[in-house]
Amino acid sequence: MTAVRTNPVVSTPYGAVRGRRENGVAVFRGIPYAAPPFGPRRFRPPEPPEPWDGVRDTVDFGPTAPKPPYSEAFAQYLSDPLVPGDDCLNLNVWTPEPGPGARLPVLVWLHGGALTRGSSAVPVYDGHAFARDGVVFVSVNYRLGVEGYGLFPDAPANPGLRDQFAALQWVHQAIGAFGGDPGRVTLAGQSAGAISTGALLAAPQAQGLLRRAVLQSGPPEAGDRDKVRRMVRRMATRLKVPATAAAFAEVDRDLLLRTQAEVGRLSSPVLGGPAFGIVVDGDLVPRDPLEALTDPGAGLAKDVDLMLGWTSDEYRLWLVPGGLLERVDRLGPVALAGAMARCHCGSEVVRGYRAQHPEAGTAETVGQMVTDHLLRIPLHRLAEARPGSSYVYEFAWPSQLPQLGACHALELGFVFDTGDTPESARLAGEGAPAELADAMHGAWVRFAADGEPGWQPWDATHPVQIFGKGDPYLASGPRDGDFAVWTADPTTEETAPLSEPAEGWPARTAELRSVVRRLRRSGLARRH
C-alpha cells in the first residue's frame, strides 16, 4: 500500500507511467506526447510516440528542445536548464489526486523565451503549488527556433505550435487518469507562451479543447512571414546551404544553433529585427489570431473565459541587460525616431508621451511606446471584444534589483508561488513579499477552478486589477484609459493610436530606415 502511494502509476494512451510523491502531490516528469522530432521527422508536424510495454519511470525532466544559451547579460536574470536528448516533445504533470474520478481543474502551461529559448524544466515553473491547491498542472516542451518556427518551401509552417496542439490533444485524452477534468482545461502562457495561447485559442482545430485561457505579457498575433524568411535566408547564407528544410536537416545541430543565435542577435522587441514567430499558414493559423478572436462573426472560443495582463515596466528586461537603457538615453532623438519607425507612428505620439510623463527619459518613453504598441493595445482590443468574460491585470511590484522595475517575466515567481527559489530571486532580488504571491497565485487558482479570479470583469469602466506594493486594488485603465498615447495637444480628448500610421508617414519611411541603420551602427543593437 505504501509503495503504491509513494510511486503512483497512471495509464496514458501510449503506456503506463510511474511518478513520485513529492511534498504531498504526485509528480510525473518527461512523459512523451509525441515522437522525437528528428531524423525523418525533422521540420515535420509531430507524430504520436511509439507505445511502450510495462511501466515507464517519469521522475526526471525529459530532454529540452535544442536552443542556444542566453547571453551572459541575460543569464544573470533568467534560468534556462538544458537536458540533452532527442525525445524533447514531452510534458510534466503535478496532481494532488492521480486516478479517474477526481475531475479537478487543469492548467496547461506554455513557457516563454521568444520561441527560441526556455523549457518546462525552469524551476520557477514548478507546479507543486497549483497541485497543492487543487489544480492538475501540466507544463509542455515544444520545438524552438528554426526547428520549430523556421519557414521553408519544403515543410509545413509552425511545427512548434503544432507540438503545442498535440500536447493539448494529449491532455484532452489522458488527463482524466491523472485526476483532471478535460472539460475544465485552462491554457496559460507568458510572453511567447501567451502568443502561442492566443494562436491556439483562434485555431479551428482546437475549438472545444479549452474552457479558459491566460495570456501574460503576450498578445494573440501572427508574425511577418518575410521577417521569418529573412532569418532563414541569413542563416542559409552563413551556412552556405540552400534555404530549405532538407538542407538545414543535414547541418550539425550545434552549428545550426550557433548560427541562429548570431543571426538573431538583433531580434529585440524594441528594434524589431528578423525573428522567428507564428505565421499564418492556412491551416492551424488560417488568419491573424487577434483579428479572428475580435471578429464577432467568427465565433471562435466564444465560451472561453480570458485573463489578460502585463507588467508596468515590461521593456526594462529588454533594455537593462548589457547597459542598453543608458545607450538609448544617450541616443536621444535618434532612439525616438527608431521607436516611431518600430511603432508606425509620427512625432505627435512621442509628444503625447512626453506631455503625460515629462520626467521620463528617452529609454522609458521608447520602452513604453513599444510595449503599448506590441502588447497592451492588442490585449486591450481583445478584452474590448469580450466584455463580461475577460479579466485584466497589471503587475506593478518593482524588483529589488537595480533598474529592473516591474519588468517582463517578474510576475512568474508570484504566479507559481516559487519566490523562494534562487531562480526567482535572479529577477526579484531577495525578500519578495509572500503576501503578493498569495494574492496572485490564489487568483490564478480561482480562475482555473471557476473562471473568476476575484475582481470585476472587463466592461465600459475598464477595470484593471493592480498587483503591486500593498494589497491588490482595482483601477480604471489600462494606463488611465488610453495607454498614454495622445495627440500633440494633451488637453484634447482625441487619441492617436499606435496601431494606425500617422498622417504623412510614407514620406518619412526612407529617413527612418536610415535612422534604424544608425541605431544598429551605434551599438544599440548589440543586445546578445
* 343 three-state secondary structure: helix
**In what side-by-side order are the strands of the sheet with 9-12?**
9-12, 15-18, 55-57
Q: Burial, 468: exposed, middle or buried (Cβ in 10 Å; 0-12, 13-18, 19+)? A: middle
Question: Active-site residue among 79, 139, 191, 390?
Answer: 191
Residue 335's alpha-carbon distances to 302, 330, 331, 496, in angstroms, are: 41, 9, 6, 20
Grid coordinates belonging to 516: 534604424
Is residue 452 flagged as an active site residue?
no
Collect all residues with Cβ–Cβ distance below 8 Å to 21 and sequence separation of at least 6: 5, 6, 7, 8, 27
Cis upstream peptide for 40 (omega within 30°):
no
Residue 376 contacts by C-beta under 8 Å, 6 or more apart in sequence?
310, 478, 479, 483
Q: Give CA–CA dist 141/162, Å, rounded.
A: 12
Q: Which of 128, 373, 380, 408 is catalytic?
A: 408
Which one of 147, 221, 314, 394 is the catalytic residue? Answer: 314
Which residue type does 4 have? V
Residue 441 annotated among the catalytic residues of the structure: no
SS3 225: helix
The region that residue 432 occupies, defined by phi over 0 for left and psi between -120 and 50 for alpha, beta otherwise, is beta
Alpha-carbon distance of 314 to 311, in angstroms, equals: 5
Element (H, E) at 92: strand 90-95
Could you give the C-alpha distances from 461 to 6, 293, 467, 498, in angstroms and in order? 51, 22, 18, 22
Contact 58, 47 (CB under 8 A): no
Q: Which residue has the cell 487619441?
A: 495
Examine the residue annotation and report whether 326 is marked as an active-site residue of this protein: no
The rounded distance, in Å, linking the Cα atoms of 371 and 392 is 16
DSSP character at residue 407: B
Residues noted as catalytic: 191, 314, 408
